[in-house]
Structure 1
Amino acid sequence: MPLVELLLENNPLSDKFDDKSIYVSEMRGRFPKLMKLDGVDLPPPISFDLEEHSLPIPIQTFLCNAEGGSIVRQFLQQYFSLFDSNNRQLLTQAYHENAIFSITIAYPYGTEDKG
């Protein structure tokens, strides 16, 4: 039976959140069917009627060379840290002034895209 109502008012956990929307989002992330939080009715959760096996299986990495993984992870961590901050100005260093979109995909010798 999924949890639909939760009362954490005056609980140290609820006091950690200054932003009410983040608090609601975090609780909904843990309890997707939550309809009432701290005595307040929540809007209906957004959900999709998908079969359990209809989504693709996530793959951690598509890197052909595992040694490059640490560089990619470091870049992504720094990029999204700046992206999620209040000042995205520092992200301009990650872009070429004429860039629109670029992607590089290389398949190891002897393999091909079967997709």
Structure 2
Amino acid sequence: MLSRRTSLRTAIAVLGAGAALALSMSSPAFAANEGSYPFSTANCAAYQRIELQYYNGGYHDFQAIDPTRTNGNCEFIVWDNQHAVYDRFSGAQSPWYYDGPGHSMTVSIIDHSSGQTAWGPITN
């Protein structure tokens, strides 16, 4: 007959193994930073958009920049690993860019009328 201490140890070991298995399974990952984050300069404004999208067999973060005010000479940029992957002087939302493993994304606005630069509030 197992002692109470042994049966508790066995139960904890089984629960731990189950948790490890559940964490290792390929299930959707839910990003803590999903959403729309506003940022701006004196003449320009945009949202940094972050959402989960299904890609290559799983769910991963994707990012885009969505301009909302272009009163000046506004440049909207999406950065991946410190390299610009999107750089436009327009008011249209950028394409969505994969922000999964191996990527570190952020967005910025350069307001050429005021000389200001603003960075998106979320960086991965």
Structure 1 length-normalised TM: 0.20
* Greater fraction helix: 1
Higher relative contact order (CA 8 A, sep 6+): 2
* Greater fraction strand: 2
